């Protein structure tokens, strides 16, 4: 058992540092390119959580000098209208990154829309072409949340080579890409999921444990090897008995912090890193304009 509490992996502080670097980079590039980078965020309907995320992204854009080209559609918008808008943005020379804010209302196919985005403007790094680059360890735009996790681990000099990593969750958003990124860093990776037998035993083998399932406080101290690095990707809104709502991760933070050596908080861990990597991807696409 740890005698000291786990060190916090501060995603908020690192995200600020990345944003400040991006701000300087944009200030240097803009006179040559003749315009600021542009990020288009498409939001559909009135999901309150999505509205908060979009607002945060727009604020972050204005902080670093990215022009935010937000488009808000009613929940009644058709698949065809959204597809046509993506095609317009693909052709727009002032737009370097395109993002469809998920989840979409029922009846809309988010995967089909994702396929319509020009891979070079895929700010979320989720287009099959970009995921293919990741599988082949080629350069390309990377999925924002997993890329943010890797950046945070690197910032704290956490060794991955030869370590056992367990990823709980197999989504295309986080579970699968983070597995590939950890493999690329020479970790030995196990993916666990809802059908995994004896999940506790599997998790306890991990030197690095990544929780990305979307179940509040599912990872408890008995599932964590003493001294492990615990990365909590979950963001869940729960309501207390007194009716107050708060954000919690997939990890029972206070109890697990007694066992782990490093841990990410929720909020303030991976969330800000995801936004920072979204801005990074946009600036990366923008920079490409210099070489064309």
The answer to the question of whether 204 is labelled as a binding residue is no
pTM above 0.85, yes or no: yes
Catalytic residue among 10, 19, 57, 96: 57
Which residues of the chain are in CATH 3.40.50.10860 domains? Answer: 34-118
DSSP state of 259: T
Radius of gyration for the alpha carbons in the chain, expressed in angstroms and rounded: 19
Q: Which helix (H) or strand (E) holds 219?
A: none
Residue range 34-118 forms a domain whose CATH class is: alpha beta
Q: For 227, left (φ over 0), alpha (ψ -120 to 50), or beta?
A: left
The answer to the question of whether 8 is labelled as a binding residue is no
**Percentage helix, strand, coil, to 5, in the chain?**
45, 15, 40
DSSP annotation string for 52-85: HHHHHHHHHHHHHTPEE--EEE-TT--HHHHHHH
DSSP annotation string for 129-157: HHHHHHHTT--S---HHHHHHHHHHHHTT
Q: Quick: pLDDT tens for 52-95.
A: 889 999 999 999 999 999 899 999 999 999 999 999 999 999 99
Widest CA span of the chain, in angstroms? Answer: 58
Integer Cα distance of 170 and 194 in angstroms: 9
Question: Which residues share a beta bridge with 292?
Answer: none
Total residues belonging to the chain: 292
The answer to the question of whether 170 is labelled as a binding residue is yes
| Residue 46 is among the residues annotated as catalytic for this protein | no
Nearest Cα neighbor of 6 from 250, 230, 269, 257 is 257
Which residues of the chain are in CATH 3.40.50.720 domains? Answer: 143-271
Q: What are the residue ranges in the chain where pLDDT is below 50? A: 1-2
Q: How many CA atoms lie within 13 A of 161 on its CB side?
A: 1
Residue range 143-271 forms a domain whose CATH class is: alpha beta
| Residue 250 is among the residues annotated as catalytic for this protein | no
| Residue 57 is among the residues annotated as catalytic for this protein | yes
The pLDDT score that the predictor gives to residue 177 is 97
The answer to whether the beta carbons of residues 145 and 173 sit under 8 Å apart is yes
Q: Quick: pLDDT tens for 132-148.
A: 999 999 999 999 999 99
The pLDDT score that the predictor gives to residue 52 is 84
The answer to the question of whether 171 is labelled as a binding residue is yes
């Amino acid at each position: 058992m740890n005698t000291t509490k786990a060190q916090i992996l501060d995603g908020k502080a690192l995200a600020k540092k990345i944003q400040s670097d991006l701000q300087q980079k944009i200030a240097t590039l803009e006179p040559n390119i003749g315009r600021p980078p542009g990020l288009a965020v498409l939001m559909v309907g009135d999901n309150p959580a999505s509205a908060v995320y979009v607002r945060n992204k727009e604020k972050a854009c204005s902080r670093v000098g990215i022009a935010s080209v937000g488009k808000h559609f009613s929940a009644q918008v058709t698949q065809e209208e959204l597809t046509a808008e993506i095609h317009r943005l693909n052709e727009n020379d002032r737009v370097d990154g395109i993002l469809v804010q998920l989840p979409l209302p029922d009846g809309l196919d988010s995967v089909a829309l994702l396929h319509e985005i020009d891979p070079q403007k895929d700010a979320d790094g989720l287009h099959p072409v970009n995921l293919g680059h990741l599988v082949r360890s080629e350069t390309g735009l990377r999925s924002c949340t997993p890329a943010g996790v890797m950046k945070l681990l690197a910032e704290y000099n956490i060794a991955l080579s030869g370590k056992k990593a367990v990823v709980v969750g197999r989504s295309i958003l986080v579970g699968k890409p983070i597995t590939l990124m950890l493999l690329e860093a020479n970790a030995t990776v196990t993916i666990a999921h809802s059908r995994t037998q004896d999940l506790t035993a599997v998790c306890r083998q991990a030197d690095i444990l990544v929780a990305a399932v979307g179940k509040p406080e599912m990872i408890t101290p008995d599932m964590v090897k003493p001294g492990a690095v615990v990365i909590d990707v979950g963001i869940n809104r729960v309501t207390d008995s007194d009716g107050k709502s708060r954000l919690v991760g997939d990890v029972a933070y206070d109890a697990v912090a007694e066992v782990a050596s490093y841990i990410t908080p929720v909020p303030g861990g991976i969330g800000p890193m995801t936004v920072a990597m979204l801005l990074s991807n946009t600036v990366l696409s923008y920079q490409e304009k210099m070489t064309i």
